Amino acid sequence: MENVFADRISYVPRSFIREILKVTADPSIISFAGGLPNRDLFPLRELKAAANTVLDESGREALQYSSSEGDLELRNWIADRYKKKNKFTIHPKNILITSGSQQGLDLLGKTFLNEGDNVIIEEPGYLGAIQAFSLYKPTFFPISLDADGIKTDKLKQVLLNHDIKLFYCVPNFQNPSGISYSEKKRQEVAELLKEKNTILIEDDPYGELRFLGKDRTSFYNIIPNNTVLLGSFSKIVAPSFRIGWIVAKDEIMDKLIIAKQASDLHTNYFGQKIILQYMKDNDIDEHIDKIKKAYSGQRNAMVAAIQKHFPQGINYTEPEGGMFLWITLTEGLSALKLFEKAIRQKVAFVPGDPFYVDKKDVNTLRLNFSSVDEETIRIGIKKLGEVLKNY
Amino acid sequence: MENVFADRISYVPRSFIREILKVTADPSIISFAGGLPNRDLFPLRELKAAANTVLDESGREALQYSSSEGDLELRNWIADRYKKKNKFTIHPKNILITSGSQQGLDLLGKTFLNEGDNVIIEEPGYLGAIQAFSLYKPTFFPISLDADGIKTDKLKQVLLNHDIKLFYCVPNFQNPSGISYSEKKRQEVAELLKEKNTILIEDDPYGELRFLGKDRTSFYNIIPNNTVLLGSFSKIVAPSFRIGWIVAKDEIMDKLIIAKQASDLHTNYFGQKIILQYMKDNDIDEHIDKIKKAYSGQRNAMVAAIQKHFPQGINYTEPEGGMFLWITLTEGLSALKLFEKAIRQKVAFVPGDPFYVDKKDVNTLRLNFSSVDEETIRIGIKKLGEVLKNY
């Protein structure tokens, strides 16, 4: 019955990571493959209190159908947070609550992409975005990253030669590379985009998790007319609620709400109410500081262990925040083959392949440091160093 | 910037009901326009206990990312329920948890529909399905309903003359009409479909809410190879969690999981765990009986009031379950115009228009009886009867 399916579904890469996570479910394996926040840092007690407050104070409302836009008070909270943190003013009507940032990507694909439309994506790029957009059969233009963000000479050239509808980027502590755009790079990118019709999708799930250096300017600050901004509570509160949001101007928001309603009516409302209550009753900055302190220690442990145990000629990024670090092996080596060897030594990572739209058997790989404790990181990276030396 | 959007988004009808619900938010209006379950029946105390148990017993797991397929124990519960209620055996691997049934419709559109593919839909048909499928730009073939289900002579003719990819139906207490397919009609439909490649989407959010007559055979019982079955906890527990499911055979499920992952990674997991815990700790049948008893009373109050207060020549359905009743005015009358008059008398309903793909200014309308108490139903229907008499 293969022919009964829509063409689009065959364009979506299977989730390689899902397959890998199955292999690494074995608890004897030290896994740097996941992309999970550290569950020990979830504010469990506080969320339990918040859930009880919601059910006591507005239980029947919290259990009923709700609006497609999302809870107004929660959208107000998000607007206030941007005002405080990023110094820009957003009206809550320009915020749409989504079922995680992943749904934000799907809604943007639905709203913007005709078959064959051109989409710039970072190389390596976020796998979830590649999957979400692939369903709408765009033409991808991957542009590689320097240590301070996307290669602007290449970006300029692509923008000059092609009509680009979307430019998707994760400017803070990118998944998978851990790279952040410098202020200079942000200004350059903004300069290239500001006269264009291209929409920049600024996906920022990790922006609050900066543990080194100073916060950078959001593209929404520089070129608000070209920018759609995505945010999420998954990394600063807890992911299981699947609550993220999109910031977009009126005419885009109109379409996004239509797409949202057709996609799932609205995001689970009980979860929205719990997260809001949690933030009303607690100091979110204090909680985020705790996460940043932990991740900073884990990141430092990983960088130190790499310096100590990895052979010469292997490059690694030094992220200033977020959850990931990116390894580039000596040219010609295969991260997939390394994975096979590593798994036999009970250590796992994600080979780079799924983060590329048109490259196979690459020499890059992603390491996650947020979900493994420092001691285990040292043991795991040492093991991986040995596998590398024997490769 | 209109030209920057995808073509598909202009194919989706705006939600008329959203606009109507805004008008009817005025608390002085008696509204039969909503499609809400009765919030007084939500098992608030029990859900609170369940939420606390989940957080106490597996809190960190319940707050973490989870699998795209959905919680295995919940899928087992659903499979067991079908076995008990419908006498068919489903492997939990053939059940996918979705963010409400609405997402099930979107995932099916994503998975099956190329532009221009043919989709049979009931007339009147469920608005949410029209919206979800419209995004994938199919050609709709609306087929009208008799009191015992879809017109099979018309169905036969359409199946003979066209290659139909999907046939979407709500065979139990359809939204909007309240109509159910008779056993005979189900067998006839199954007979027409069984040699075809057409997929029947059996959307069954109300199936458990039968308060008159005997349960009918699911299409999944008769033609499992042609049927994809959708279910939901929204009407039997609470809608705010947005938890539904799709039952499909292996090769379809493979594609649906890819689409699911690209759409939102997974359905909110805390909500899944709460619903499961609630059902483990409570007698769901007892709870459903309570809902059925209440809705039966509300439905009877509405039918009695219609008989008493509506003028001659107005037809109404007599649903055996669910939440809706359907009115057909004398030919030539406009439900939209009636709506304008009714709203001035502080009573509201949904004019039929949004339930048709190719008709405007129809003489039909939907009344909801689940979210209005019996006394208010009597007052509201009496008012509506007066408006009708003056029309």
Q: Looking at beta carbons, which residues of chain B come within 8 Å of A117? A: 6
Q: Which of B3, B254, B265, B275 is the best residue to mutate to test the A interface, defined by the most A CB atoms within 10 Å of its own CB? A: B265
Angle between helical axes of A100-112 and A250-264 (0-180°, round to 10): 110
Percent over 70 (pLDDT), chain B: 98
**By C-alpha distance, which of B253, B249, B166, B169 is closest to B206?**
B169
H or E element: which one contains B200? strand B199-203
Q: Looking at beta carbons, which residues of chain B come within 8 Å of A103? A: 263-264
Instruction: Show the CA angle centred on residue A350, arms to residues A349 and A356, nearest 5°.
Output: 155
- Could you tell me the pLDDT band of residue B272, with boundaries at 50, 70 and 90? very high
Sign of the dihedral through C-alpha A366, A367, A369, A370: positive
Say whether B358 sits in a helix, a strand or coil: coil
Dump the DSSP string for A92-123. Answer: GGGEEEESHHHHHHHHHHHHH--TT-EEEEEE
Percent over 90 (pLDDT), chain B: 92
Alpha-carbon gap, residue A375 to A14, rounded angstroms: 33
Q: Which of A65, A66, A230, A278 is the best residue to mutate to test the B interface, defined by the most B CB atoms within 10 Å of its own CB? A: A65
Alpha-carbon gap, residue A382 to A367, rounded angstroms: 13
Q: Give the pLDDT confidence score for residue A1 in this predicted structure.
A: 58
Q: Is A65 on the interface with B (CB under 8 A)?
A: yes
Which alpha helices (H) appear in chain A, and where do they start and end? 16-23, 44-63, 72-86, 100-112, 127-134, 152-161, 183-193, 219-222, 250-264, 269-281, 284-309, 335-344, 374-389
Q: Beta strands A118-123 and A139-146: pairing type?
A: parallel
Q: Which of B66, B240, B259 sits opposite A63 (nearest CB)?
A: B240
Mean pLDDT of B87-100: 96
Between positions 315 and 354 of B, the ones with CB within 8 A of A are none
Residue in this structure with the two tokens 């809608």, named with its chain if needed: B239
Peptide bond into B176 cis (omega under 30): yes
**By C-alpha distance, which of B62, B65, B260, B104 is closest to A232?**
B65
Inspect the interface and report whether the beta carbons of A64 and B112 lie closer than 8 Å.
Answer: no
Q: How far is A269 from chain B (nearest CA, A)?
A: 5
Q: Which of A240, A243, A267 is the best residue to mutate to test the B interface, defined by the most B CB atoms within 10 Å of its own CB? A: A240
H or E element: which one contains B306? helix B284-309
| Beta carbons of A35 and A324 less than 8 angstroms apart | yes
Length of chain A as a residue count: 391
Chain-centre distance of CA A370, in angstroms? 14
Q: Which of A37, A39, A264 sits opposite B99 (nearest CB)?
A: A264
Is residue B2's pLDDT more than 60? no
Inspect the interface and report whether the beta carbons of B242 and A265 lie closer than 8 Å.
Answer: yes
Q: Give the pLDDT confidence score for residue B1 in this predicted structure.
A: 58
Q: Looking at beta carbons, which residues of chain B come within 8 Å of A39? A: 60-61, 63-64
Q: How far is B256 from chain A (nearest CA, A)?
A: 9
Angle between helical axes of B72-86 and B269-281 (0-180°, round to 10): 50
Q: Looking at beta carbons, which residues of chain B come within 8 Å of A271? A: 268, 270-271
**By C-alpha distance, which of A78, A116, A127 is closest to A267?**
A78
Inspect the interface and report whether the beta carbons of B102 and A47 lie closer than 8 Å.
Answer: no
pLDDT values of chain A reduced to their tens digit, one per residue, 391 residues:
557 899 888 877 766 776 777 777 788 999 999 889 999 999 999 999 999 999 999 999 999 999 999 999 999 999 999 999 999 999 999 999 999 999 999 999 999 999 999 999 999 999 999 999 999 999 999 999 999 999 999 999 999 999 999 999 999 999 999 999 999 999 999 999 998 999 999 999 999 999 999 999 999 999 999 999 999 999 999 999 999 999 999 999 999 999 999 999 999 999 999 999 999 999 999 999 999 999 999 999 999 999 999 999 999 999 999 999 999 999 999 999 999 999 999 999 999 999 999 999 999 999 999 999 999 999 999 999 999 999 8
Q: Is A5 on the interface with B (CB under 8 A)?
A: yes
B194 or B297, which is more confident: B297
Inspect the interface and report whether the beta carbons of B55 and A47 lie closer than 8 Å.
Answer: yes
What are A131's two structure tokens?
Answer: 């999957």
Q: For the domain B61-281, what is the CATH code?
A: 3.40.640.10
Q: Give the pLDDT confidence score for residue B14 in this predicted structure.
A: 66
Q: What's the pLDDT tens digit per position in B217-266?
A: 999 999 999 999 999 999 999 999 999 999 999 999 999 999 999 999 99
Say whether B245 sits in a helix, a strand or coil: strand
Q: Which residues of B66-75 are buried (b: 16+ CB within 10 A; e: fewer)?
A: bbbbbbeebb
What are B36's two structure tokens?
Answer: 């809400």
Between positions 228 and 247 of A, the ones with CB within 8 A of B are 234, 238-243
Is residue B12's pLDDT more than 80? no
Q: What's the pLDDT tens digit per position in B287-330?
A: 999 999 999 999 999 999 999 999 999 999 999 999 999 999 99
Q: Give the pLDDT confidence score for residue A9 in this predicted structure.
A: 85
**Residue B142 CA: distances (Å) to CA of B14, B145, B155, B178, B363:** 19, 10, 9, 17, 17
Inspect the interface and report whether the beta carbons of B6 and A111 lie closer than 8 Å.
Answer: yes
H or E element: which one contains B123? strand B118-123
Q: Is B62 on the interface with A (CB under 8 A)?
A: yes
Q: How far is B193 from chain A (nearest CA, A)?
A: 15
- Number of Cβ atoms within 10 Å of the Cβ of B258: 24
- Sheet containing strand B324-328, strands side by side: B315-316, B324-328, B364-368, B350-351
Q: Is B251 on the interface with A (CB under 8 A)?
A: yes
Mean pLDDT of B28-33: 94
Inspect the interface and report whether the beta carbons of A259 and B59 lie closer than 8 Å.
Answer: no
Q: Give the pLDDT confidence score for residue A10 in this predicted structure.
A: 81
- Could you tell me the pLDDT band of residue B370, with boundaries at 50, 70 and 90? very high
Q: Give the pLDDT confidence score for residue B23 in this predicted structure.
A: 75
**A–B CB contacts, 8 A cutoff, strictly below:** 231
**By C-alpha distance, which of A259, A244, A293, A38 is closest to B135?**
A259
Inspect the interface and report whether the beta carbons of A1 and B251 lie closer than 8 Å.
Answer: yes
Show me where the domains of chain B are located.
2-43+286-390, 61-281
Q: Looking at beta carbons, which residues of chain B come within 8 Å of A65? A: 35-36, 234, 239-240
> ipTM score here?
0.96
Alpha-carbon gap, residue B286 to A208, rounded angstroms: 47
Burial class (CB in 10 A: 0-12, 13-18, 19+), B115: middle
**By C-alpha distance, which of A231, A257, A251, A158 is closest to A198?**
A158
Global model pTM greater than 0.95: yes
Q: For the domain A44-281, what is the CATH code?
A: 3.40.640.10
Q: Give the pLDDT confidence score for residue A14 in this predicted structure.
A: 66
Q: Which of B7, B36, B258 sits opposite A9 (nearest CB)?
A: B258
At the top level of CATH, the class of A2-43+286-389 is alpha beta
Give the DSSP letter of residue A321: B
Q: What are phi and psi of B321, to 5 degrees?
A: 180, -175
Q: Looking at beta carbons, which residues of chain A come within 8 Å of B62? A: 240
Single-letter amino acid code for the residue at B40 = D
Sign of the dihedral through C-alpha B360, B361, B365, B371: positive
What are B202's two structure tokens?
Answer: 């059996």
Q: Does domain B2-43+286-390 have CATH number 3.30.43.10?
A: no
Q: Which of B52, B106, B238 sits opposite A264 (nearest CB)?
A: B106
Q: Is A269 on the interface with B (CB under 8 A)?
A: yes
Single-letter amino acid code for the residue at A150 = I
**Residue A372 CA: distances (Å) to CA of A197, A309, A324, A333, B347:** 43, 18, 12, 26, 59
Instruction: Show the CA angle centred on residue B238, arms to residues B233 and B241, nearest 5°.
Output: 80
Inspect the interface and report whether the beta carbons of B65 and A36 lie closer than 8 Å.
Answer: yes
Q: Which of B240, B243, B254 is the best residue to mutate to test the A interface, defined by the most A CB atoms within 10 Å of its own CB? A: B240
**Residue B324 CA: distances (Å) to CA of A31, A152, B32, B179, B313:** 52, 58, 9, 9, 20
Between positions 40 and 59 of B, the ones with CB within 8 A of A are 40, 42, 44, 47-48, 51-52, 55-56, 59
